[in-house]
Amino acid sequence: MNLIKKIDTNDPEGAEMENTHHYTLQLRFVENSSDAMGSSELEVLAHPAGMGQPIQGRFPHWEPIFEDICTLMRSSAFHRKAIQRTLAAGLAAHLINRETGDKHIFSEAELASFSLTPMGGLDEGLSSAA
């Protein structure tokens, strides 16, 4: 399965895309070890499509980040519910492009829009908020 589509480097947008990193996302619920109540956090693991280190972030308030990701993917209500049920069942959910069936590809800018950064994982400003 080819994760990155062929990019036309003669096209200015294609040339710009070739120089950016692309990631696929995996979501899963993990127990919050610092919480005695046993609450869950959403773990987002961004796997690079090619060379590089994965990026990991944990979100104690998972609903906003989940909605941001689904909105970015243009998920239908059915698609969102399927992802939620997968997570509730204790399984990891790989985010799939509904049109192609391949893993959905995210750019670094898209990851940054929901506070995942290649350098430090979870953006420190968000982790201290809430």
Q: Please write the tens of the pLDDT for every residue from 23-38.
A: 999 999 998 777 667 6
pLDDT value of position 14: 45
Q: What is the DSSP letter of 8?
A: -
CB atoms within 10 A of CB 115: 19
Q: Which domain holds residue 123?
A: 12-127
pLDDT value of position 23: 93
3-state secondary structure of 62: helix
pLDDT value of position 128: 29
- What spatial distance separates the first Cα and last Cα of the chain, rounded to whole Å? 39
The answer to whether position 6 is within a domain reads no
The amino acid present at 16, given as its one-letter code, is E
Least Cα distance to 26 among 3, 11, 42, 39 occurs for: 42
The answer to whether position 36 is within a domain reads yes
pLDDT value of position 118: 61
pLDDT value of position 53: 85
The answer to whether position 108 is within a domain reads yes
The answer to whether position 1 is within a domain reads no
The answer to whether position 121 is within a domain reads yes
The answer to whether position 40 is within a domain reads yes
The answer to whether position 31 is within a domain reads yes
Instruction: Report the domain count for the chain.
Output: 1
The answer to whether position 7 is within a domain reads no
CA-to-CA dists, residue 6 to 9, 14, 18, 48, angstroms: 9, 9, 9, 17
Q: Please count the residues of the chain.
A: 130
Q: Please state the pTM of the whole predicted model.
A: 0.69
pLDDT digits (tens, 9 = 90+) for 63-112: 888 888 888 888 889 989 999 999 999 999 999 888 888 999 998 888 88
CA-to-CA dists, residue 106 to 23, 109, 111, 129, angstroms: 5, 8, 7, 25
